[in-house]
Amino acid sequence: MNIRELDAEQQRRIAFRALLAAPFVGAGEEAFPLVRRHEPELARMATDVFGYRLHVGPTAARLVGAPTDHSARRPLRVPPASETGRKRPRDEWPCLSDRGAVLLLCILAALERGGAQTALAELARDTAAAAADCDPPIAIDFEARAERLAFADGLELLVSWGVVEHTAGSKASYRNLDAGEDEAFLTVDRRRLAALLRDPAQALVADTPVAIDTFGEGYAPTVEGARRSVAHELARRLVEDPVLLLDELDDGARTYFLGQRARIEDAVASTTGLDVERRAEGTALVTDDRALTDLPFPTRSTAKQAALLLCDALHSEARSAPEANGVVVRERVLALVRGLVAEHRPHWQRDPKDPAVVAALAADAVATLVALDLVAADPSGALRLLPLAHRFRDPALRRASQETS
């Protein structure tokens, strides 16, 4: 069906989901006309339900708001240089390093000082100058290859967001910083830049995600202001986190949620078009596609197949040792992964007798399960199953094609 033939409520849901799915909805995207058409209603819903602010300009639209604690732990992913790499699931893209994040903020500070266009070498110089002006100063040594790679990753991320457009030259010069004939020439979308971060220098010294979010006006120091803050945090957790678990809420937030549960769930579901799945342990919002996930699961990757099968193995382990209260120690986790590698060796092409191979696959599988709120890991490496993990018991195996589903 043509998107224009949908009713207004359906159009608003499509627009809002597009705003949730990416940092920017560009003017060339299908959802952008819907955002413009329904801007007042979308802005009201964003503010009333989630505490987000909607910025709409001629080139792009963006939702702005402080992330939840869970979503703030997710790394920024840098689009791979190759077309093949970009087609891989987003969570398999390289992570922006801590140093890359610092240089990203320094690049933003340099771009704010500059004009609408810049050459790569000029941007590098301006970035170093912006870093030197910080308090305390940040030293950047572009003679070091690691520093150039971190700079290139930050710049590549801004290009992928449309904040910077690669106008001419080679992207290879991002890493070389050569001012030769193939030097990259960049055009800055200053409206997107303004909507991305108000004060990069302040963000460099921020100690919490909320401190980075300088667009917000805050909440009134009143009982009603506190209630709105809690309500917005709970609504954001429903759309930004895999699940909202009651046990993870403090006493005040838990009491408020249980008293306002139907209202909050209905408001979020109405805004997004997602389905509410309510259980005794908490609430998840679900959909039959993967449009709003940055961590698709399960998939055909070996690490995620191992994670899926490990999740089921952990269930079996918990049933066989109820006295452990669902906790599985690290040594046993490694033993379970070793058994899975031995069972699926022809397909995974890994040696179960190699401790380093088993440990690496176990680490990848556990990281996936933790990111999806399927297990919790303590500092010792022991795992505790979380309620959402029950979705993935007894997975079906297609042995004939050696694929896990």
For the chain, the domains span 3-65, 83-204, 223-286, 302-404
Return the pLDDT at 399. 58
Dihedral sign (CA 263, 264, 269, 271):
positive
Q: What is the pTM of this model?
A: 0.86
- pLDDT score, position 120: 92
Give residue 188's pLDDT: 96
User: Residue 281 phi/psi, 5° resolution?
Assistant: -80, -20
DSSP assignment of 22-34: SS-EETTSTTHHH
What is the per-residue pLDDT for 1?
A: 56
pLDDT, position 161: 95
Q: What is the mean pLDDT of residues 154-159?
A: 94
| Assigned token pair, 278 | 């309510």
| Sheet with 117-119: strands ordered across | 117-119, 185-188, 164-168
Cα distance between residue 390 and residue 84, in whole Å: 34
Q: Where is average pLDDT lowest: 76-85, 200-209, 248-257, 359-368?
A: 200-209
Mean pLDDT of 352-364: 95
- Is the confidence at residue 215, as pLDDT, over 70? no
Cα 263 vs. chain centroid, distance in angstroms?
A: 26
What per-residue confidence (pLDDT) applies to 405? Answer: 39
pLDDT at 281 over 50: yes
Rg of the chain, C-alpha, whole Å: 23
Helix residue ranges per DSSP H, 139-222: 145-160, 173-176, 190-196, 200-204, 209-212
> Is pLDDT at 136 greater than 90 in this prediction?
no
- % of the chain at pLDDT higher than 90: 67
Class at the top of the CATH hierarchy for domain 302-404: mainly alpha
Point out the least confidently predicted range of 11-15, 132-136, 152-156, 288-292.
288-292
Q: Is 29 exposed, middle or buried (0-12, 13-18, 19+ CB in 10 A)?
A: middle
Lowest mean pLDDT across 62-76, 137-151, 261-275, 299-313: 62-76
What mean pLDDT, rounded, does the chain reach?
89
**How many residues belong to the chain?**
405
Comparing 332 with 173, the larger pLDDT belongs to 332
Confidence label for 289 from pLDDT (cuts 50, 70 and 90): confident
Q: What six digits make up the tokens of 390?
A: 């029950």
Residue 308 has pLDDT above 70, yes or no: yes
